[in-house]
Amino acid sequence: MLRKYESARTLPRKNLGAAVLVLLTPFLAGAWFASPAAAAAPCQGPGAPTTTETKCLTAVQIPGKPLGAFDISWVNPYLNQYYLGDRSNAGIDVINTVSNTFALRLTGFVGAQSSNATSGPDGVTSHGQWVYGGDGNSTLKVFNLSSIPTVSNGVPSITYAQSISPGGKFRVDEMALTPDGKLLLAANNADDPPFATLFAANGDSGISNVSIITKISVDSTIIPTGAGLSLEQPTWEPVTQRFYTSIPIIANNPPGCNYGQVTPPSPITCDGGLLVVDPTTLSKPTAVLGAFDSTTNTGVVPLHGCSPNGITVGPGSNLLEGCTPGNNPSDTTTLVINAINKNYAHIAGITGSDEVWFNSGDQRYYTGSSGNRVNGTLTPVLGVIDGTSVLVETIPQSSASHSVAADCINNRIFVPQSAADTTTVGQEICGGTNGCVAVYTHPTTGSTACGAIFGSTSYYNAP
């Protein structure tokens, strides 16, 4: 079923990007709506230091309700678009990454609910004209950017072209695509037990015809039922041709650890795992994966000193895992594990990450580390790690600032700031109290860009 994937830089996709940009030109130029004005100049205070290599450039204001609840973000550099799962406004916000302005909203989500497990949008990814978003009612929403937006309350909007339920009770969360856009893996993280779904996605088709291929579960000896365990962010690694999905906590890692089964409740002591999926082996409606099999490079790899949420692919087939004490209180570092040989190393000085992103444009990882701790004190930061897995710097962020994505063409890094910030950091970054998307930049003198090849590995974050 799965064939060798085409290059991410095919001519038809560039032509499509041009067509979509032409269609959306009035909206990208701001001719159809008025973005709310900030109360003060953005990029002030501790979140905009002058001594760091990564500089605060500006802040994008979001129309509608204050940005109090949001989730995962994504960038499609070929369309110059950043996507944010904005629960406060029940849609995916689209920002132009060249002009750094709000462009339009993808609508039809349930929005912020009383439970995180039923709120949406959640995970988001894209390929060409198609944007995919997870929703709190256990559906995958598919949007066609070639659709003509309608304007409601001054905000241009596009509703979904297709909605598919994988059969869960709770949200479709984080997801990943293959570079040709034809396969999508999405996690239902809040179902018990959690599961992932392999979808046949749209690729470069002009018509949405997304369908379910296989529901993937993990053996109950690894993820026991009834403990509220989870699956988190997947990513696609091009050399091994596998999906890799973060598992925050797995049983018996190490043996006898507490994954939530202890009564009365006590701190979690189990580390997490890494689910390795070969989509070429999946054709039946259901599949159960167990312990890691090195001969097939599939199954669950136990991790050490890491209970991860986010994951991204970096140089040399390295996978950076967003470890967090929110899953296991003993997590104090960030983990890098090699997809080929499974060797790993820890990065000190940064933890508590949710979404993480490798930007091939400047060969750096960026971490949305809202759960970062310094001497036991919660200290939300944007983490910056170089391609050799060395921590470069951390930049203070608003509380709940757990999302990050970068444009590998212009090396701009997009970090949402919460209107519900319990500090003043976000307010000073945004220039107001309504929340925003902060735009950071890391100018480089090199010629690297999206899809650049470093060593023997081709890197590509956003189709």
Boundaries of domain holding 343: 39-458
Q: What is the CATH number of the domain that holds 418?
A: 2.130.10.10
**Any domain includes 189:** yes
Whether 351 and 397 have beta carbons less than 8 Å apart is answered as no
- Amino acid (one-letter) located at 165: S
**Any domain includes 139:** yes
Backbone angles phi, psi at 298, to 5 degrees: -140, 160
Q: What's the pLDDT at 449? A: 62
Distance CA 310, CA 174 (A): 9
**Any domain includes 27:** no
Determine how β-strand 242-247 pairs with β-strand 273-277. Answer: antiparallel
**Any domain includes 273:** yes
Whether 174 and 72 have beta carbons less than 8 Å apart is answered as yes
* The two structure tokens encoding residue 384: 């910056």
Half-sphere exposure of 456 (CA within 13 A, CB side): 6
Give the number of other CB atoms < 10 A from CB of residue 44.
17
**Between the CA atoms of 80, 18, 158 and 135, what dihedral angle is there, to the nearest 10 degrees?**
-50
**Any domain includes 4:** no
E strands within 70-145? 70-76, 81-86, 91-96, 101-107, 124-127, 130-135, 139-144
**Any domain includes 8:** no
- Write out the DSSP string of 382-412: EEEEETTS-EEEEEE--TT----EEETTTTE
Q: What's the pLDDT at 13? A: 41
**Any domain includes 92:** yes
pLDDT averaged per 10 residues, the chain (length 463): 30 44 48 51 97 97 97 96 98 98 98 97 98 98 97 95 98 97 98 98 98 98 96 97 98 97 94 98 97 98 97 96 96 96 96 96 95 90 97 97 95 96 96 97 74 45 38
User: How many domains are there within the chain?
Assistant: 1
Distance CA 9, CA 303 (A): 34
- In whole angstroms, how far apart are CA 197 and each of 189, 321, 354? 11, 21, 21
Q: What's the pLDDT at 452? A: 54
- Write out the DSSP string of 357-378: EEETTTTEEEEEETT-EETTEE
